[in-house]
Amino acid sequence: MFKPYFRDGGGPPPLSVVVERAARLEETDLLGIVWHGRYAGYLEDGREAFGRRYGLSYLEFRAAGAVLPIRILHLEYLAPLKYLEAFAVEATLHYNEAARLDMEYKIVNQKGETVTRGYSVQMMVGLDGVPLLEAPPLYLNFQKRWREGLL
């Protein structure tokens, strides 16, 4: 139904994590709905849950010598979220051989409707600020298990 953001050419199927939340009062604006800029935090909630689930959190990457700055953030708003409305954030990692993370997101309301879609691209960068040509062993091991269907 939706045009995919990333192509999965030959890699293993994507991995997803879902986290549940509800819209907080401070996230709304004068229109009575969640302000569009707050969704960056919702996607981050999904991305961080993914990192915790698969041992790829910010702190684990940093211990492995890499940080993961966001290079691209893309959001499509299909319907608003209201104050107190419950929703699920699904963060899905797509396989990529490069030293980057291609993540796709879907925010789904309680009726099962996708109210927001988006993606982010993060590049792996060394602690000295130099982009990495190859992912650290932490991630290469994760990818190996992914390819072997062990995740």
Shortest spacing between CB 36 and its own copies, in angstroms = 4
d(CA 144, CA 138): 10
Residue from 4, 69, 131, 137 touching its own copies (CB under 8 A): that is 69
Out of 13, 37, 131, 137, the residue judged to bind its own copies by CB under 8 A: 37
Report how far residue 121's alpha carbon sits from residue 40's, in angstroms, rounded to the nearest whole number. 13
Which two structure tokens, joined as six digits, stand for 49? Answer: 């849950």
User: Under the criterion CB under 8 A, does residue 31 sit at the interface with its own copies?
Assistant: yes
Contact of 50 with 93, CB cutoff 8 Å: yes
* Helical (H) or strand (E) element with 39: helix 39-54
With CB under 8 A as the contact rule, the residue among 12, 45, 85, 143 that binds its own copies is: 45
- Would you tell me which residues interact with its own copies (CB under 8 A)? 24-26, 28-33, 35-38, 40-41, 44-45, 48, 57-59, 67, 69-77, 80, 83-84
